[in-house]
Amino acid sequence: MIARRSSQNTLYAMFIALILLLSACQQAPLATPSQPAAAPESLVTQPPAEPTAEPEIIATETPDTPSNESPAGINLDYSAVAQNVNIETIPAKPASADSPYWEAGPEYRLLTLQDYPVSEHLHKPQIFVYPVSDLAEANENAGKLAADLQVLLETQEVGDHLPFLPLFNAQQVMHAQVQFLDFKSGKGVRFLTQFDQAPLPINNNELFYTFQGLTSDGKYYIAAVLPVTNPELPAGPEVSEQQAEVLDDFPTYISDMVTLLNQQPAGSFTPDLNKLDELIRSIEIN
């Protein structure tokens, strides 16, 4: 009986040894190049994400809307008679014993037309904008002219002389083609004229179109000096022998010239008087 138990123990020991031998012969699976061995989940890392840049905010300015309005608060359409306009502020000039009376005046706006059809002329194509409240204080004569213009616009009774600014060191020798015009900010009168210090022919170097007006609120006096020419007139003020005889009776000569100018159609002048009227009607003071 003892021999049988011993035999069983021997068989059991051999069985255990066989199992251990088989376990030792098995190999762990190898990773292939096409399928790399996965790392433990706890060690898998991802490249850090690039920081997201905030959108850049670029300050932009809205382009200015094209406008006819000038920095001086004056609107006008000059396209029919000029290519551009230069606007400046002229400082006040107090009255002084050392300067002539016609130079004294308040601060005002001066508009000078550029590339105007008439270039060879005594006067520049300009528009003056005066503050009415300052005219009389700065120059008594200018203040009186503003008052006279107000009366003229109310009565429309044209006399021997029409109110005119700026003040010239010469005399208004005539007026022709007189018309009352409304502009966007008021009303006034336009006419052709010439200023001289002596009896001289009406000529293309001195004749000009002028407008004298007031804004409806009475705050601004508008004065335009715009050169014009006409083929019926001599080029300049030079007096020939024949003209000298005519000028001896200067009142008759002026009357005849006014009649002649009044008979000329608007389109015979350079620039066309109708185009100058359009310019004046477009004026607006803000």
Query: Rounded distance, CA 76 to CA 283, Å?
Result: 4
- Binning pLDDT at 50, 70 and 90, where does residue 14 land? low
Answer yes or no: is pLDDT of 23 > 60.
Answer: no
What's the pLDDT score for residue 66?
Answer: 32
What's the pLDDT score for residue 150?
Answer: 97
On whether the CB atoms of residues 181 and 190 are closer than 8 A, the answer is yes
What Cα–Cα distance (Å) separates residue 162 from each residue in 29, 54, 101, 157, 263?
120, 72, 20, 10, 20
Q: What is the 3-state secondary structure (H, E, C) of 46-57?
A: CCCCCCCCCCCC
What's the pLDDT score for residue 10?
Answer: 46
On whether the CB atoms of residues 209 and 189 are closer than 8 A, the answer is no
Query: Rounded distance, CA 276 to CA 118, Å?
Result: 13
Answer yes or no: is pLDDT of 243 > 60.
Answer: yes
Cβ neighbours of residue 110 closer than 8 Å, sequence gap 6 or more: 87, 88, 89, 90, 126, 127, 128, 129
Query: Rounded distance, CA 125 to CA 280, Å?
Result: 13
* pLDDT tens, residue by residue, 248-269: 999 999 999 999 999 999 999 9
| 68: its two tokens | 């006819």
